[in-house]
Chains A and B, each alone.
Chain A
Amino acid sequence: EPEVTQTPSHQVTQMGQEVILRCVPISNHLYFYWYRQILGQKVEFLVSFYNNEISEKSEIFDDQFSVERPDGSNFTLKIRSTKLEDSAMYFCASSALIVNTEAFFGQGTRLTVV
């Protein structure tokens, strides 16, 4: 069964460092997303990506964040200068269609900023 894969499963980084979280979406999907869940809080939408550009982003997704699809398979989330409050579980997702459709999620990357 096709699945979304994320690497690494856990990343520890020092405050101020740049991190790149990686995702391989399902191969025939066209829409890609990042969500995050701070411990004990809700899963929050960060950004959606379609046709090599951001289609929507939330208020959380400020200039510190960027996304990229560097090749035909990977989808990355970069945090330029991490802050303690960026510590969270980050989920990548992909879908074949955009509206009212099933999004397939990866297992998440737990980011810990120290």
Chain B
Amino acid sequence: GDSVTQMEGPVTLSEEACLTINCTYTATGYPSLFWYVQYPGEGLQLLLKATKADDKGSNKGFEATYRKETTSFHLEKGSVQVSDSAVYFCALSASKKVELVFGKGTKLTVNP
């Protein structure tokens, strides 16, 4: 079945460090790919998305590129801030399906 695998956390970085959170997927057809973020005490918020191969989603300095050849959608940011501390979830929506399939989530802590 459809699945998402993302790197295990937690990840701890210093402010202004580079961030990469790996995400790979297994799906039939051509899924849409998402990164959701959950800040402490809040719900899941869509961070960025890509709906077809080679699309790049970007928001708040974060980027992820839909790589069909490697079935990956890695999240990157060049310079993290303390306010980026949160749990990040990679997810997919398979063709013609309603549900989102999530990875386990990666907790990021950014220290000043």
Q: Which residues of A line the B interface, CB within 8 A? A: 3-4, 6, 31, 33, 35, 40-45, 48, 55-56, 58, 91, 93, 98-100, 102-108
Contact = CB atoms under 8 A, between A and B. Distances in A.
Contacts of B45: 105
Contacts of A107: 41-43
A102 B15 CA distance: 30
A99 B20 CA distance: 28
* Leading 6 A-B pairs by shortest Cβ distance: A45-B99, A105-B44, A43-B102, A107-B43, A105-B43, A100-B32
B103 to A, nearest CB: 7
A99 B93 contact: yes
Contacts of A58: 99
Given A33-B99, A45-B100, A107-B42, 13 more contacts: A3-B43, A33-B98, A35-B100, A42-B4, A42-B103, A42-B104, A43-B105, A45-B98, A58-B99, A91-B44, A99-B96, A104-B46, A105-B43
Contact of B99 (A4, A48, A102, A108): A48
Given A91-B44, A102-B49, A107-B43, A56 B93 contact: no
Contacts of A35: 100, 102
Interface string B38-55: 000111111001010000
Contacts of B105: 42-43
B89 interface: yes
Contacts of A106: 43
B101 interface: yes
A43 B104 CA distance: 7
Given A100-B93, A102-B49, A105-B36, A56 B43 contact: no
